[in-house]
Structure 1
Amino acid sequence: MFLKLLLTSVSAFAAGAFALPATSYALQDTYDYTNWLNKFTVQNIADPTHGFVNYVTEAQAQSLGLIKTIGSQVYMGVDNTTILDPNGVGRNSVRLQSNPSYNHALVIADFAHIPGSDCGAWPAFWMVGPNWPNEGEIDIIEGVNLNTYDQVTLHTSSGCVPSIGPGGQSGTPTGNSDCGAGGGYTGCGVVSGSATSYGTAFDANGGGVYATLWTSSAIEVWYFPASDVPSDIKSGTPNPAGWGTPIANYAGCNFDAYFQNMNIIFDTTFCGDWAGAVWSSSSCSSMNPSCNAYVAAEPQSFGDTYWLVNSVKVYSVS
């Protein structure tokens, strides 16, 4: 009798009756050309990163053509025609924040084009909580000047010191272990190993998808060139378990204590605390010793400094 029960149990296990429940992902929000400005607020604010930029209002952005739909895609760009005073207000651009906020999510962003690798430019696609840095920040796409390698970074209050999660990561840590170092400004970054993960190289490769999974136990970011997007993402039934090694795989931090109520942000600034800070050590400085002066005098350099978004989809995690 015992043997019969044992064999029955083994058979049931093999059939999956005792398997752990799989994580499921239900579509929560879709941001696309049909609802973009209903789902995002255009932020006419001073740049928190001290860039040479003028974030315009929604009405200004539309009248200037800085936000528009092109077919079934959303365009968000910058002024690329006006010569400016380098001591003035900065180049017109847009910054958007999602109206919904999230606690845990799978965020899948599909891009036809992201801002190019342009001297002075500092674009970013990211998430942030309202009480920075205490409710966290996840930088998903970010780079400056002539970068072609994306950098993923977490910013928190002091004490979140992640390890690399199971399965590893393909990116390289920037060297700082505490995501709250420098009052949160330094963060803990991971640089992608893919030469097409950012900027001009990303665009020349046909665009692609960034997927970010945020749970209690991990924050992971994947990049897929357009030619390699998993079929489950295309079909709307995402399954990160089958996606392979992410760029960044943060584990070992109490993420629920450091990341809360996060909104999605798009912005493109110029110079400022990063692009400006490294200007003198980049080849860009050979064209002008001043980042602000270069950005002011060379509007034509920013013709490809724009986002062209197919969609951003947010899935709940359960």
Structure 2
Amino acid sequence: MLIKLAITTALFSSVANAWSLHSISAGSNFINFFNFYNGADPTHGFVQYVDQSTAAAKNLVYMQGEQTIIKADNTTVTPGGRPSVRIESKSTFNSGLFVLDIEHMPVGCGTWPAFWMFGDNWPNQGEIDIIEGVNEQTTNSVALHTSNGCTMAGVNRPQLGSVKTPNCDVNAPGQGANEGCAVSSGDTRTYGRGFNSNKGGVYATRWTAGQGIQVWFFTRSAIPGDISSNNPNPDSWGLPVATFPFQSCPANKFKDLRIVLNLTFCGDWAGSVYGNAGCPSTCVDFVQNTPSAFGEAYWKINSLKVFQ
């Protein structure tokens, strides 16, 4: 098995629209970019997050060629919650361009996969949800979550997606608890089974103090050449799925964020809407007693590139 890893560190270029490659995490060393979280699920999911050695022993993290597979247990009845993986980057970030290339994401009743960023002092350091959904959801949801004083209401936001909720405050009046300012992509290629049937694609997230936060999605056949050549120019990519300008939201609402990839089950979101998802039984009962239903509950990752 030949696995390649390239890690390059460089200074930010002063040239307009020029991003310098900070790191590529891929292959057998993809996991080295992260720590394994094995505490209680903050979203109250029916899950057992396992440490790295347990994940390896249970074959929840392994290589398939040069791709990294991260999955949940799909062979065991699990009364204490389904064993799964949550990884968090060892480094924190205060800006950057984050490019994730994945071929497959977890799907199915009871699932709640996410690729996101958050600060340890949540919500005071902010949260950026890049890929997120539950159960048999068909389109991606992008969202920000903050403390009081960050809103997108009344702000000009050129984007492909549709605004679901405008206030990023996790306790915003008139919104559900912790809804944040969310955008729905409306494109079935961005999430779930539609995403997987097209061999996934690339999510790119730009975060700068001057331009705010934007999230783009590119299908496998439409990945820009400047991403593949490690010379990205986001200004040439067209409209993002979601854009969050820092106009009515101070840039300092987001600081020292870690990159997270995880798969939980049921919990505050997937569990609360499970009854409306067309799924069998109850969420906990299904997740506990139907291991064979989770054969598609896995991430297949090509690479994570960070530019600064």
TM-score of the aligned structures, taking structure 1 as reference length: 0.87
How far 1:37 sits from its partner (Å)? 2.6
Matched, 1:211 2:201: no
Q: Quick check: 1:168–1:249 contact (8 Å CA) kept in 2?
A: yes
Which protein shows a greater Rg? 1
Q: Quick check: 2:150–2:167 contact (8 Å CA) kept in 1?
A: yes
Question: Aligned Cα RMSD in Å?
Answer: 1.6
Cα 1:84–1:21 change in 2 (3 A) is: closer
Which residue in 1 is equivalent to 2:87? 96
Q: After the TM superposition, which of the residue ranges 43-52 and 26-35 deviates more from structure 2?
A: 26-35
How far 1:101 sits from its partner (Å)? 0.9
Pairing partner for 1:66 from 60, 71, 80: 60
Question: Where does the alignment leave 5 or more consecutive residues of structure 2 unmatched?
Answer: 1-13
Could you give the per-residue CA deviations for residues 293-313 of structure 1, whole angstroms, max 9, x where no partner exists? 011111111101100100000
How far 1:38 sits from its partner (Å)? 1.9
Identity between Structure 1 and Structure 2 (%): 43
Q: Quick check: 2:123–2:170 contact (8 Å CA) kept in 1?
A: no
Rounded to whole Å, the distance in 1 between the matches of 2:250 and 2:299 is: 30
Rounded to whole Å, the distance in 2 between the matches of 1:265 and 1:211 is: 15
Which residue in 1 is equivalent to 2:243? 249
Cα 1:306–1:255 change in 2 (3 A) is: farther
Paired residue total: 289
Q: Where in structure 2 are the equivalents of 1:118-267 lying within 5 Å?
A: 118-162=108-152, 168-174=158-164, 176-182=165-171, 185-216=178-209, 217-251=211-245, 252-267=247-262
Which one has the bigger helix percentage?
Answer: 1
Q: After the TM superposition, which of the residue ranges 306-315 and 154-163 deviates more from structure 2?
A: 154-163
TM-score of the aligned structures, taking structure 2 as reference length: 0.90
Which residue in 2 is equivalent to 1:268? 263
Pairing partner for 1:109 from 100, 104, 117: 100
Q: After the TM superposition, which of the residue ranges 213-222 and 246-255 deviates more from structure 2?
A: 246-255
Question: Where does the alignment leave 5 or more consecutive residues of structure 1 unmatched?
Answer: 1-19
Which residue in 2 is equivalent to 1:16? none
**3-state SS in 2 of match to 1:68:** strand
Cα 1:238–1:164 change in 2 (3 A) is: farther
